[in-house]
Amino acid sequence: MKHRVGLYCVLAGLSALSSGVSAHAGAHGAKSAAHGRGEVVALTDQRGSTLDSAARELNADDLAAAARHNDKPLVLVGSAPLSTNGKNTGLFVQVQAASLCGSAGCSTDVYLQRGGAWTKVLDSVSGPVELLPTSHGGYRDILVDGSDRWVWKNNTYVDTLAAQDVPDLKSSVREHQAHMGEQAHGWR
């Protein structure tokens, strides 16, 4: 069963496709959906809905920041069951405004309702989002931009892409800072 969770990105005049795969996702999004890796998560303008009201409240700071830049942000929302038992539904939110979106596009946040309040469980991911058939800790895995897998751990989603350890990074930074301090004070 495919959950329609709408359009992914409308910036630069892109519009929603009825299939739920966005023009922004391009061939990659269509390929992912065709291979059945997961359900493409896309977001729609749902002005006046309960989800839209919640999204606007949760992102009031971003909306205010966009207004200060004279932007008229577009709030895109969607929902889909995240827990494997279907009892916990996620709220996907993307606020689109020129002042808020960067070169990687607009970011998407994911919230879960706990004790009557929404809690952010995935923060600011950019790229097409898919709900995978695999799961961890009772919640479905999320794939972002075709390769960045997020899994449920300790009541939130965590990235599985490990940052590479750079040997002697701290000592190298300290040496550089010391050298810059010497130059600033003419101690060479």
Average pLDDT over residues 140-152: 92
The range of the structural domain enclosing residue 102 comes to 11-161
Quick one: average pLDDT of 44-69?
A: 93
- Is 134 a member of any domain? yes
Q: Give me the number of domains the chain comprises.
A: 1
- Residue 173, domain member (yes or no): no
CA-to-CA dists, residue 96 to 7, 88, 160, angstroms: 12, 26, 27
Judge whether 186 lies within some domain.
Answer: no
Domain membership flag for residue 3:
no
Please state the pTM of the whole predicted model: 0.67
Q: Is residue 80 part of a domain?
A: yes
Residues with Cβ within 8 Å of residue 42, at least 6 apart in sequence: 4, 5, 6, 7, 8, 16, 20, 21, 22, 25, 78
**Residue 4, in any domain of the structure:** no
71 is a domain residue: yes
Q: What is the pLDDT of residue 146?
A: 87
The model's confidence at residue 168, banded by pLDDT at 50, 70 and 90, is confident
